[in-house]
Amino acid sequence: MKRKFSASRRYSKCGSPDMRVSRGPLKSRNFRLLVTCNVISVAGSSIANVAIPFAVLGVGGSAADVAFVATAKLIPIVAFLLIGGVLADRLPRHRVLVAANGLQAIAAGAAAALILGGHARVWQLAVLAAVSGIGVAMSYPASQGLLPQTVPADQRPSAVSLDRMSRNTASIGGAALGGVLIVLWGPGWGLVFDAASFAIAGALRFRMQFPDLPRVQVSSMLTDLRAGWRAFTSRRWLWMIVAQAAVITTLSSALISVLGPLVAHSDLDGASSWGFIVAAYGFGAVVGGFVLLRFRPKRLLLAGILSLPALSLLFFALAVPLSTPLGVAASFLAGAFLEVFEVSWVITLQQEIPPDELSRISSYDALGNYALAPVGIAAAGGLAGSFGASVILTFSGALIVLLTCAVLFVPEVRHMRRRLPAPSGTGNAVTVPSAAGDN
């Protein structure tokens, strides 16, 4: 009883954490290093995302070549994600990240050298993009499994919110900086910054220190893959939400890459309108992360799922493109509410998945997000030409709402409660109590 009372004092009836808990993760050296690395590498990647298309066009490539280079990076991500998850569950995760960052730094540096030297060809940029994609496949599962190792269990929810806020802020700043670099110096220098960011992040991750854990490796990698698949499919709530997210990601990829720019070009003010809409999404995500530092519902997974239909607001706003401000407002709300889902999802995985399975489960989660994205991008253009962008956007927004309703039929989604771990050294986790009963 004393432990439950102690835990409840740190949270109000509405679920708001004490700000000391929110700032607590920053006391951890490993967490500070992790966030610093993430900010640096995400900023560099955002610069590269702006620079690479212009680099391809600058060497005489076409729009199809831009898509070819983007696909060349995506294919190895899909192909190697599961292997990356196994490696991250078998090896020290920060060392896996060091190796992945080194690979990404080499790829970006080589591309920068080719571009600045005037020798770049589209096929060379595609090959280097594929190498970078392997690095992404290795780094994502490792990073998902590493964060819980950097802070005590009772600080992990705040750590997730702080980490994602920093990533979103870095993404916004990196994209803006990328545009400035391209205008002033050209895309080659943008990739120089990208290479430097991965080199610095890798060096900082090398400085992380974790206690050596006993690792018994009596199984093969294939056996670990099968075990990860069994762990994934045995949880109905897990694979259903991943399937839902895969479809939503496919629709969102079509929106971002094809349908959104098409509507902005034909019905709004072109690139400037689309730029404001995209930026508003990023700012909304930062606000959503900040809100979850102050408020965290007891049924966190349910709150996250209920936030997803807000994404349909952006689809509907572009389906009836009345004005740029309306699109900006819808994008801001979509970013804020989708961030609620993202943070809730990461915290739920850390709570429900054993640490030695977390990277493999995260790799299956990421595979669902990446695998169908090219299909959505490829189909969007043809479908928009046949039925009109407005029809496709309306259908997509409605489908997001219907998928959310379907997932809500899963009992675990409705009833799973956030468990508040006791502060370090005080014992087992407890369920967050409610003075007014369950909400």
Confidence category of residue 219, pLDDT binned at 50, 70, 90? low
pLDDT for residue 421: 56
Architecture of the 20-208 domain: Up-down Bundle (1.20)
In DSSP terms, which residues pair with 430 in a beta bridge?
A: 420
pLDDT at 92: 82
> Which pLDDT belongs to residue 113?
92
Structure confidence at residue 413 (pLDDT): 86
pLDDT at 432 over 80: no
CA 331 to chain centroid, in Å, comes to 17
pTM (two decimals): 0.70
pLDDT band at 140 (very low <50, low <70, confident <90, very high): confident
Whether 184 has a pLDDT exceeding 90, the answer reads no
What residues does 431 pair with on adjacent strands? 419
Phi-psi region of 121 (alpha: psi -120 to 50; beta: other; left: phi over 0): beta
User: How many other C-beta atoms can be found within 10 angstroms of the C-beta atom of residue 126?
Assistant: 18
Mean pLDDT, rounded, for 91-111: 90
Q: Is residue 370 pLDDT above 80, yes or no?
A: no
The pLDDT of residue 217: 57
pLDDT for position 427: 37
What rounded mean pLDDT belongs to the chain? 79
HSE, side-chain direction, 13 A CA sphere, residue 284: 25
User: Residue 50: its pLDDT value, please?
Assistant: 74
Whole-number pLDDT of residue 269: 77
pLDDT exceeds 70 at position 429: no
Domain with CATH 1.20.1250.20 in the chain: 20-208, 230-419
Average pLDDT (413-432) is 56
Tokens for 415, please give them. 């009833």
Share of the chain above pLDDT 90, in %: 18
- Least confident span in 61-65, 244-248, 324-328, 379-383: 61-65
Name residues whose C-beta falls within 8 Å of residue 339's C-beta, 6 or more positions apart in sequence.
Answer: 164, 168, 284, 285, 286, 287, 288, 289, 292
Rounded to an integer, the average pLDDT of 64-86 is: 80
Ranges 95-104, 282-291, 394-403: which has the least confidence: 282-291
- Determine the pLDDT at residue 1: 38
| pLDDT for 340 beyond 80 | yes
Q: Estimate the crossing angle of helix 122-150 against helix 324-352, to 10 degrees.
A: 50
222-229 long-range contacts (CB < 8 A, ≥24 apart) are: 224/86, 224/89, 224/90, 224/360, 225/82, 225/83, 225/86, 225/360, 227/357, 227/360, 228/82, 228/85, 228/86, 228/89, 228/357, 228/360, 228/361, 228/363, 228/364, 229/364
What's the mean pLDDT in 372-379?
Answer: 77
Q: What is the mean pLDDT of residues 367-395?
A: 81
pLDDT at 435: 30
User: Which of the pair, 330 or 210, is modelled with greater confidence?
Assistant: 330
pLDDT band at 402 (very low <50, low <70, confident <90, very high): very high
- The pLDDT, as a whole number, for residue 214 is 55
Which segment of 1-10, 86-95, 104-113, 385-394 scores lowest on mean pLDDT? 1-10
Task: List pLDDT tens digits, range 260-304.
Answer: 877 877 788 766 677 778 778 888 888 888 887 777 778 888 988
- Flag whether pLDDT at 425 surpasses 60: no
Is the model's pLDDT at 32 over the cut of 70? yes
Residue 403 has pLDDT above 70, yes or no: yes
230-419 maps to CATH 3.40.640.10: no
